[in-house]
Amino acid sequence: MMDYSLEGRLRAAKIADYLGVARSTLAKWRMRGIGPIYHRCGPRIVYYRKAEVDQWLEECDQKLTDARRAKS
């Protein structure tokens, strides 16, 4: 198995596994401007910081919670 880390950063394949989505889903999110913050190192290397991904997940959870409260 390949090591996907780059000095504390995680490559897209590793984050896709972490989130339980396909790498193509991450690519679509990047094209649409949604999803977790990502960084580029050249034209082909995309990486994520796990802390930023975790923060994005927390924000998603909060939005869902807020939407549920607004309905009740």
Provide the CATH number for the domain around residue 44: 1.10.10
pTM given for the model: 0.77
The structure tokens 């999803």 sit at 35
Question: Given this model, what pLDDT does residue 21 score?
Answer: 97
**Of the candidates 34, 40, 42, which has an alpha carbon nearest to the alpha carbon of residue 9?**
40
| Percent share of the chain, pLDDT over 70 | 90
CA 56 – CA 2 distance, rounded (Å): 26
- Count of domains observed in the chain: 1
Domain range spanning residue 42?
Answer: 5-71
CA 5 – CA 7 distance, rounded (Å): 6
Q: What is the pLDDT of residues 30-69, one digit of tens each?
A: 999 999 999 998 888 899 999 999 999 999 989 888 787 8
Report whether 4 contacts 11 (CB < 8 A): yes
Structure tokens at 66: 């807020």
Q: Hey, is 31 helix, strand or coil?
A: helix
